[in-house]
A and B are shown apart, each in its own frame.
Chain A
């Protein structure tokens, strides 16, 4: 079970040539898998210990008044976000892949941009613009001569449907990027075949492209839903009583940290089960090995149809990025003109980028090691260890941070014990009290993205390559260096950029674990938001978006480069 479904080849087909490998490979792979599994085991064991303290008193209350409503709201929210992200993400990916229409070139760049926008910021922007006192409703009142907001009905933005739309339109790029990559390469040959038999584009989409893209869609939707499940800022503001929120109220208000840990672990178990179930559903399907990178012949659209396609793709971009970013830009300019620019912002920006870059580097190295270990040594133990490591993405950030505190301090205490023995000095909390805590926390949380991307990338390299290389006498080092790494480059970049952007945006773990006097752009904005003045943080929000944009653009550049040429270069 893995937080990110991947389509790895059946280990059974590869077990046989294990004997031909130098003996250190399995040992090294086992070591890597264990280290990575330990990384997640740290907070998990610490949470289990908190949960095991137990709080029997609170459960009848939770079961009667809290969980039913929270579970229902969570399921509805997730279902809604799944629908919005799939329709917007897969729909847009299909349109820009299958058709040619005016504006498509720009859309290829615009469609992934909402990735750079933190969900809670989008929630604040829409709350401000669409609520009763916002510009839209004020204009409507002036236009129709209504006196007060109670004189008419307007769909409330702070509501479950509001949350579904706002979160869905910000998170659809996860699905879009996965679907686009799949439609571009894997499906082309089949769609061409379907068209040759006279099937319409829509039928080709329904019967061929969508089923073939299912693993990619599953990865994208899973990421979007886990991101939704981790959210607390947007849902709390929009008044949606999710299970994640109930973890917090159980801890902070109902005064039961064990109860909170129990809810969080139960949620984790359900997520793990769902993901395992999805993977089980696809257990007999093989997606790998279509190596024909021909791009399918596009259908050129004209007139009304072209306009429709353009509008269909513009809607998610506008709601997910252009409108909120435009709002932030306006507020940032207004405020900077009036009050000047906070000189500390530059320092916070550098801190944010430094932290994100360091964390990304470590996450990539660990993720790559784990993925390769799993490919080279098809042992269940290793696959299991790697899968456990990816569960970190399914634990809400603050809960994860709480779970990490204990183990980090325990390690620090050991280090201090050692240094006292050896040199007589007390060096303090060298992990828990420094940025190391954040880097470790980001690793636990975002390793799943890196591993998910790399496994998907590796699965597209046929096993025959490995076998041929080995037959020619290449050892594991040469196999990885000469075959896997070059072919993995797009996946590596994709993972790097997504992880980097996620680290930039991360709020709850950063808030709780950061060292003294350390402020990231996210935590900087948060203090304005919690004071009811999030617009004062508009410039910082815009900085996150701009820094996040650079990798997103790089990612688009990579994805849109001619896949055939790329593969040739790689080979």
Chain B
């Protein structure tokens, strides 16, 4: 049986050599995207883009380290566009010196200045909000502030994933940027004291735990809940919970961006610009709204009805760059109060 396997092995070796030789080049009519977004999620977007423009999109998706990869690759980097979530990562990319300004009056016209880098090194494409999943049965109130999550009345009733996850890191950073580090520490200790269990799992597990009665309140992102509500198997969890859009005291809801940056040495710069502008166009923004359940950033594009059902989003007005600055302090605070321990 294994004698027969030998030709197969050599065929595989040959195939491997071919793949190795083939992967390295970028040609015209293409654009190379490095992304932290899941391929499955952005593939519908890129398929539509290729159909519209004839430009082929090549993708590398990863969970971390893409900035380092582009930086290491240096001038020969095939990267044209970095597509990512979280303001911190966008700022990291800028700090790593791997971006160049996006000069596009068309983009500036449709994306509010609040969601663009003043120097043009990144631009937001869509928004997500960090919200509360509340038990329909056990939580009567329909509004809440982030500050209230530290109220002892919720003792043993809150579920959340790791405080070091980027979504929570940005929320805590926003709290620091708004209230200062001392207040934030007091708040985070309060939230920690209210936890029903050690932080673990993801936003989906948080929703499951609220649905099953492990806790009354969970912290999660807007689109996870919409994904559950539209999935046959997960619908019961969505049905048992409601989404409350929390606000900061005297402020709005904490939002974060998914955004785009133009690589410094982009070999296909023209195509990259076409893609970036296309992503903020009508068609792409509708896909963001209805397939990915995110808040489109282009003015005039409606949110998906499920997301609209949460109520009207009033994003906090704090500049995202200030959130990015406070991220390191937020990570340190999570360590200091032993939030994940």
Q: Which residues of A contact B (CB under 8 A)?
A: 61, 65-66, 69, 127, 131-133, 137-138, 147-151, 156, 158-159, 236-239, 241, 248-249, 251-255, 257, 338, 350-351, 353-355, 357-358, 361, 398, 401-402, 405-406, 408-409, 412-413, 416, 426-430, 432-436, 439, 511-519, 523, 526-528, 530-533, 535, 554
Residue pair B200, A158 in contact (C-beta under 8 Å): yes
Residue pair B331, A428 in contact (C-beta under 8 Å): no
Stretch from B63-71, B294-302, B309-317 that touches the partner: B63-71
Give chain A residues whose Cβ lies under 8 Å from the Cβ of B202: 237, 532
Closest to A62 in B: B335
Residue pair A241, B340 in contact (C-beta under 8 Å): yes
Would you call B180 an interface residue if the criterion is a C-beta within 8 Å of the partner chain's C-beta atoms? no
Residue pair B227, A527 in contact (C-beta under 8 Å): no
Sample of 17 A–B contacts (CB below 8 Å): A65-B338, A131-B214, A137-B212, A149-B209, A158-B197, A158-B200, A252-B64, A253-B327, A253-B330, A398-B65, A408-B72, A409-B74, A512-B64, A517-B60, A530-B38, A531-B38, A532-B227
Would you call B235 an interface residue if the criterion is a C-beta within 8 Å of the partner chain's C-beta atoms? no
Once A and B bind, how many residue pairs between them come within 8 Å at the CB atom? 214
Give me the 5 closest cross-chain CB pairs, A-B, nearest first: A148-B213, A239-B200, A532-B204, A515-B23, A132-B212
Given contacts A132-B208, A357-B9, A430 and B24 within 8 Å (CB-CB):
yes
Give chain B residues whose Cβ lies under 8 Å from the Cβ of A132: 208-209, 212-214
The interface on chain B, measured as residues whose beta carbon lies within 8 A of the other chain's beta carbons, has a size of: 77
Q: How far in angstroms is the closest Cβ of chain B from A262?
A: 16
Residue pair B38, A402 in contact (C-beta under 8 Å): no
Give chain A residues whose Cβ lies under 8 Å from the Cβ of B9: 357, 361
Would you call B13 an interface residue if the criterion is a C-beta within 8 Å of the partner chain's C-beta atoms? yes
Would you call B332 an interface residue if the criterion is a C-beta within 8 Å of the partner chain's C-beta atoms? yes
Would you call B16 an interface residue if the criterion is a C-beta within 8 Å of the partner chain's C-beta atoms? yes
Give chain B residues whose Cβ lies under 8 Å from the Cβ of A511: 61-63
Give chain A residues whose Cβ lies under 8 Å from the Cβ of B26: 428
Would you call B224 an interface residue if the criterion is a C-beta within 8 Å of the partner chain's C-beta atoms? yes
Q: Considering residues B12, B197, B335, B341, which has the most beta carbons from chain A within 10 angstroms of its beta carbon?
A: B335
Q: Considering residues A150, A158, A338, which has the most beta carbons from chain B within 10 angstroms of its beta carbon?
A: A150
Residue pair A405, B72 in contact (C-beta under 8 Å): yes
Residue pair B25, A428 in contact (C-beta under 8 Å): yes
Q: A158-B197, A527-B39, A528-B40 are in contact. List 18 more A-B contacts (CB 8 A).
A: A65-B332, A65-B335, A133-B211, A236-B162, A253-B169, A338-B232, A357-B9, A357-B16, A358-B16, A361-B9, A401-B65, A433-B23, A433-B24, A433-B73, A515-B24, A516-B32, A518-B19, A527-B40
Judged by DSSP, the binding face of A is helix
Give chain A residues whose Cβ lies under 8 Å from the Cβ of B232: 338
Q: How far in angstroms is the closest Cβ of chain A from B267?
A: 9
Residue pair B340, A512 in contact (C-beta under 8 Å): no
Residue pair B59, A516 in contact (C-beta under 8 Å): yes
Which residues B124-180 have CB closer than 8 A to chain A? 138, 156, 162, 164, 166, 169
Bound-complex Cα distance A240 to B164 (A)? 12
Would you call B183 an interface residue if the criterion is a C-beta within 8 Å of the partner chain's C-beta atoms? no
Residue pair B196, A150 in contact (C-beta under 8 Å): yes
Residue pair A512, B331 in contact (C-beta under 8 Å): no
Bound-complex Cα distance A361 to B12 (A)? 11
Bound-complex Cα distance A412 to B23 (A)? 14
Give chain B residues whose Cβ lies under 8 Å from the Cβ of A358: 12-13, 16
Given contacts A65-B335, A409-B73, A512-B65, A238 and B16 within 8 Å (CB-CB):
no
Q: How far in angstroms is the closest Cβ of chain B from A495?
A: 15
Closest to B12 in A: A357
Would you call B278 an interface residue if the criterion is a C-beta within 8 Å of the partner chain's C-beta atoms? no
Bound-complex Cα distance A69 to B335 (A)? 10
Closest to A334 in B: B233
Give chain B residues whose Cβ lies under 8 Å from the Cβ of A408: 72
Residue pair B215, A150 in contact (C-beta under 8 Å): yes
Would you call B109 an interface residue if the criterion is a C-beta within 8 Å of the partner chain's C-beta atoms? no
Bound-complex Cα distance A554 to B58 (A)? 38
Residue pair A432, B72 in contact (C-beta under 8 Å): yes
Could you say which of B74, B214, B335 contacts A66, with CB atoms under 8 Å apart?
B335
Closest to A516 in B: B58
Which residues B24-41 have CB closer than 8 A to chain A? 24-26, 32, 38-41
Would you call B78 an interface residue if the criterion is a C-beta within 8 Å of the partner chain's C-beta atoms? yes
Q: How far in angstroms is the closest Cβ of chain A from B59?
A: 6
Q: How far in angstroms is the closest Cβ of chain A from B64?
A: 6
Q: How far in angstroms is the closest Cβ of chain B from A27?
A: 29
Bound-complex Cα distance A405 to B73 (A)? 8
Given contacts A159-B198, A239-B162, A435-B19, A254 and B12 within 8 Å (CB-CB):
no
Residue pair A518, B23 in contact (C-beta under 8 Å): yes
Would you call B328 an interface residue if the criterion is a C-beta within 8 Å of the partner chain's C-beta atoms? yes
Residue pair A254, B24 in contact (C-beta under 8 Å): no
Bound-complex Cα distance A66 to B333 (A)? 11
Q: How far in angstroms is the closest Cβ of chain B from A496?
A: 10
Residue pair B24, A149 in contact (C-beta under 8 Å): no
Closest to A146 in B: B213
Would you call B20 an interface residue if the criterion is a C-beta within 8 Å of the partner chain's C-beta atoms? yes
Bound-complex Cα distance A251 to B331 (A)? 11
Closest to B203 in A: A532
Bound-complex Cα distance A299 to B61 (A)? 55
Given contacts A158-B205, A253-B331, A429 and B69 within 8 Å (CB-CB):
no
Residue pair A355, B16 in contact (C-beta under 8 Å): yes
Given contacts A427-B24, A533-B227, A69 and B40 within 8 Å (CB-CB):
no
Bound-complex Cα distance A530 to B331 (A)? 21
Closest to A529 in B: B202
Give chain A residues whose Cβ lies under 8 Å from the Cβ of B156: 150
Closest to B234 in A: A533
Would you call B15 an interface residue if the criterion is a C-beta within 8 Å of the partner chain's C-beta atoms? yes
Residue pair A515, B164 in contact (C-beta under 8 Å): no
Residue pair A531, B40 in contact (C-beta under 8 Å): yes
Give chain B residues whose Cβ lies under 8 Å from the Cβ of A530: 38, 63
Give chain A residues whose Cβ lies under 8 Å from the Cβ of B233: 535
Give chain A residues whose Cβ lies under 8 Å from the Cβ of B169: 253
Q: How far in angstroms is the closest Cβ of chain A from B323?
A: 13
Q: How far in angstroms is the closest Cβ of chain B from A517?
A: 5
Closest to B36 in A: A530
Bound-complex Cα distance A351 to B60 (A)? 15
Would you call B21 an interface residue if the criterion is a C-beta within 8 Å of the partner chain's C-beta atoms? yes
Could you say which of B59, B200, B212 contacts A238, with CB atoms under 8 Å apart?
B200
Bound-complex Cα distance A239 to B40 (A)? 26
Bound-complex Cα distance A409 to B196 (A)? 48
Residue pair B65, A239 in contact (C-beta under 8 Å): no
Given contacts A416-B76, A427-B24, A515-B24, A148 and B212 within 8 Å (CB-CB):
yes
Would you call B51 an interface residue if the criterion is a C-beta within 8 Å of the partner chain's C-beta atoms? no
Bound-complex Cα distance A401 to B60 (A)? 15
Bound-complex Cα distance A273 to B179 (A)? 47
Residue pair A257, B68 in contact (C-beta under 8 Å): yes
Bound-complex Cα distance A239 to B200 (A)? 4
Q: Considering residues A137, A148, A253, which has the most beta carbons from chain B within 10 angstroms of its beta carbon?
A: A253
Q: How far in angstroms is the closest Cβ of chain B from A526?
A: 7
Q: How far in angstroms is the closest Cβ of chain A from B172?
A: 10
Residue pair B76, A429 in contact (C-beta under 8 Å): yes
Q: How far in angstroms is the closest Cβ of chain A from B177?
A: 16
Residue pair A526, B63 in contact (C-beta under 8 Å): yes
Bound-complex Cα distance A358 to B227 (A)? 39
Closest to B332 in A: A61
Q: Residue-by-residue, is B199-243 near A (CB-CB < 8 Å gives 1, otherwise 0)?
A: 111111100110111110000000010010001110001000000
Bound-complex Cα distance A515 to B9 (A)? 22
Give chain A residues whose Cβ lies under 8 Å from the Cβ of B201: 127, 131, 158, 237, 239
Give chain B residues whose Cβ lies under 8 Å from the Cβ of A65: 332, 335-336, 338
